[in-house]
């Protein structure tokens, strides 16, 4: 590892020793916002409007750099008191800025603001057209305001949710955090775990008895507390549905779709196509049973590993591999990724006191993004390097925007990262030293695909049903019936599902905390796969289209961006393309095993 470790230079966002000065400059200009707001009139000139908006964009950009400074510093050195101080001071400044621009934000949305004349639709269109880059963001916020209630009602909802839905989520966490897990593989002594993650590690154990014991241990307390957890879930679901109705959304899931900026039709199609392709995964599980020399796979065995030698790659070699792949795909990808290395914006290796995991932080237009890794040299490390560089490349393609339209919206946020990861996966697969290694890699990839795509889609389908049934009146037991019925139809005759999986719904925090959120994972993954499939089909001529999608940043709706390159996310064919890639992996796996 010596000599390989990269550390990032944060002085590109705040010059060395200049935090206080930068802070004071932003603070002074925030007070200037008051003067800008006085200019707001529906009849104001285009030049004045542009000036006010650019004043706001400039402040947001400068504040984002300042707050990223403390945050990134803390990620790299969790114990640094200086970092914590800078972070909390930037947060204070952030509150000042959002207070100062609140009247402007409300005014743009067409809401009533004291002392200002309301912005009517005609003038909104006139003014917004002056800043085409921000037009989509402005209009989206105006549409969001249509789902907003009166100020008094909103205030009441916010206050009541603290003692209502938020308190229920706290209750859920309190109850489940107190769980203990009794792990007892057949023929062994029982072990008590207090941390669920430690038991969950055994889902991936090479020993069948340990996998079974892990699921049994995890679900037991959920089953024992099912009645309590049901009361919480029922209340949260009803609260969500009432809110959706009050805010004029056609369905409970539409609320989530609106915030994710995707049309209801696209999500319906996505879920249907997932359901139609469930056979690929059932086929995989039948095949996996053979590889594991089992008659039939049990639900406990879905993530069982195949033993294989593990390859290691030093960082400079991985960097070269990824950059070569990028260059082969599109020179623009390689140049952008190289510029992140050149800028010294990467913190590469694990060390005590550093944050775990990996991320790419896109700060503002004009700033090269920062990447944190915990590189160890195994295959998944190399693939994470490609993933995070993909995010960085995406951000650099989208530099030509205002701050507020530069950040990519959720559905497209994983496009470049997933495509980068896919290209690296195919390369590593071709370079693997033995068929045994290749088989293990394919099996792991297919398992990941099941977990991100099918499993998540079925969670959302379950939620759709659960919300409906809860409205009609349902008991805890019936909800568990509904769950296990859906799980069994998902896995078909390929996998044996034991009774304890009835309680699995209670173990998915997302359905309590952020209803209908689970499809976000599979949406991003499948969308990237669909684009990758098109690329493999059409080759080079398709690359500029991908670059175009990335360059949009957050300046258009995802639906419109995808249509621009001649595809339609509400059509089944679009999503089917993604599953063709998955099918390809499965037939390769079968070929290798012959
Ligand atoms: Zn990502």
Q: What does the domain layout of the chain look like in residue ranges?
A: 10-148, 315-436+520-593
Q: How far apart are CA 550 and CA 390, in angstroms?
A: 10
- The CA 417 to ligand 1 mean position distance, Å, reads 6
Q: Helix or strand or coil: residue 364?
A: coil
Q: pLDDT at residue 269 above 90?
A: yes
- The CA 593 to ligand 1 mean position distance, Å, reads 32
- The CA 336 to ligand 1 mean position distance, Å, reads 17
- The CA 581 to ligand 1 mean position distance, Å, reads 20
- The CA 487 to ligand 1 mean position distance, Å, reads 28
- The CA 387 to ligand 1 mean position distance, Å, reads 6
- The CA 389 to ligand 1 mean position distance, Å, reads 10
- Closest CA relative to residue 35, chosen from 63, 56, 11, 66: 56
Q: pLDDT at residue 478 above 70?
A: yes
Torsion of CA 464, 469, 474, 475, to 10 degrees: -20
Predicted local confidence at residue 419, as pLDDT: 95
- The CA 414 to ligand 1 mean position distance, Å, reads 5
pLDDT, mean of residues 56-60: 98
Among the residue ranges 137-141, 271-275, 306-310, 419-423, the one predicted with the least confidence is 306-310
Q: pLDDT at residue 1 above 70?
A: no
For 10-148, CATH gives 1.20.140.70
- The CA 356 to ligand 1 mean position distance, Å, reads 15
CATH topology agreement for domains 10-148 and 315-436+520-593:
no
pLDDT, mean of residues 463-479: 96
- The CA 411 to ligand 1 mean position distance, Å, reads 11
Q: Helix or strand or coil: residue 441?
A: helix
pLDDT in tens, 501-559: 999 999 999 999 999 998 887 888 999 999 999 999 999 999 999 999 999 999 999 99
Residues 6+ away with beta carbon under 8 Å from 407: 362, 398, 553, 554
Q: pLDDT at residue 307 above 80?
A: no
- The CA 108 to ligand 1 mean position distance, Å, reads 32
- The CA 413 to ligand 1 mean position distance, Å, reads 7
Q: Helix or strand or coil: residue 411?
A: helix
Map 527-589 to HEC letters.
Answer: HHHHHHHHHHHHCHHHHHHHHHHHHCCCCCCHHHHHHHCCCCCCCHHHHHHHHHHHHHHHHHH
- The CA 360 to ligand 1 mean position distance, Å, reads 8
Residues 6+ away with beta carbon under 8 Å from 127: 44, 46, 49, 119
- The CA 204 to ligand 1 mean position distance, Å, reads 23
Predicted local confidence at residue 409, as pLDDT: 86
Predicted local confidence at residue 2, as pLDDT: 53
- The CA 401 to ligand 1 mean position distance, Å, reads 21
Q: How far apart are CA 358 and CA 217, in angstroms?
A: 30
Q: Tokens 């293990």 label which residue?
A: 440
pLDDT in tens, 163-217: 899 999 999 999 999 999 999 999 899 999 999 999 999 999 999 999 999 999 9
For 315-436+520-593, CATH gives 1.10.1370.40
- The CA 384 to ligand 1 mean position distance, Å, reads 9
């Amino acid at each position: 590892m010596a000599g390989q470790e990269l550390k990032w230079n944060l002085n590109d966002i705040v010059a060395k020793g200049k935090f206080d000065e930068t802070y004071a400059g932003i603070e002074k200009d925030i007070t200037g916002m008051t003067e800008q707001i006085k200019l707001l009139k529906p009849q104001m000139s285009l030049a004045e409007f542009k000036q006010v908006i650019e004043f706001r964009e400039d402040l947001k950009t400068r504040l984002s750099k300042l707050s990223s400074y403390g945050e990134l510093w803390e990620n790299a050195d969790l114990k640094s008191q200086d970092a914590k101080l800078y972070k909390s001071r930037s947060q204070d400044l952030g509150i000042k800025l959002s207070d100062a621009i609140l009247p402007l934000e409300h005014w743009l949305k067409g809401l009533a603001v004291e002392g200002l004349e309301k912005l009517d639709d005609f003038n909104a269109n006139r003014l917004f057209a002056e800043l085409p880059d921000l037009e989509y963001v402005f209009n989206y916020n105006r549409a969001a305001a249509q789902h907003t209630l009166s100020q008094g009602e909103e205030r009441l909802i916010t206050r009541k949710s603290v003692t209502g839905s938020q308190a229920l989520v706290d209750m859920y966490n309190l109850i489940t955090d107190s769980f203990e897990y009794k792990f007892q593989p057949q023929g062994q002594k029982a072990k008590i775990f207090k941390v669920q993650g430690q038991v969950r590690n055994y889902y991936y154990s090479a020993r069948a008895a340990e996998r079974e014991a892990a699921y049994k241990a995890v679900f037991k307390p959920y089953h024992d507390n099912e009645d309590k957890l049901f009361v919480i879930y029922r209340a949260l679901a009803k609260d969500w549905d009432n809110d959706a109705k009050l805010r004029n959304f056609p369905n409970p899931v539409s609320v989530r779709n609106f915030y994710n900026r995707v049309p209801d039709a696209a999500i319906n199609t996505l879920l249907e196509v997932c359901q139609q392709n469930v056979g690929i995964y059932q086929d995989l599980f039948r095949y996996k049973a053979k590889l594991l020399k089992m008659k039939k796979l049990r639900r406990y065995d879905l993530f069982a590993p195949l033993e294989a030698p593990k390859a290691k790659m030093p960082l400079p070699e991985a960097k070269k591999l990824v950059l070569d792949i990028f260059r082969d795909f599109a020179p623009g990808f390689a140049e952008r990724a190289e510029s992140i290395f050149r800028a010294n914006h990467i913190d590469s290796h694990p060390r005590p006191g550093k944050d775990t995991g990996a991320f790419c932080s896109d700060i503002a237009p004009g700033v090269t993004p920062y990447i944190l890794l915990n590189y160890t040299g195994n295959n998944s490390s190399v693939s994470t390097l490609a993933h995070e560089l993909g995010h960085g490349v995406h951000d650099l393609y989208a530099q030509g925007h205002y701050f507020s339209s530069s950040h990519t919206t959720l559905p497209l946020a994983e496009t470049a990262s997933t495509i980068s990861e896919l290209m690296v996966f195919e390369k590593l697969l071709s370079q693997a030293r033995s068929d045994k290694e290749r088989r293990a890699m394919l099996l792991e990839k297919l398992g990941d695909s099941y977990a991100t795509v099918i499993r998540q889609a079925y969670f959302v389908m379950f939620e759709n049903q659960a919300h409906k049934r809860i409205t009609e009146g349902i008991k805890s037991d019936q909800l568990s019936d509904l769950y296990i019925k859906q799980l069994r139809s998902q896995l078909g005759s390929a996998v044996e599902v034991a009774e304890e999986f009835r309680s699995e719904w209670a173990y998915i925090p997302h359905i309590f905390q952020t209803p209908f959120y689970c499809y976000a994972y599979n949406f991003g993954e499948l969308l990237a796969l669909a684009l990758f499939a098109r690329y493999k089909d059409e080759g080079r001529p398709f690359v500029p289209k991908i670059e175009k999608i990335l360059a949009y940043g957050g300046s258009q709706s995802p639906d419109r961006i995808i249509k621009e390159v001649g595809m339609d996310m509400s059509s089944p064919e679009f999503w089917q393309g993604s599953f063709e890639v998955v099918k390809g992996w499965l037939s390769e796996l079968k070929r290798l095993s012959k």
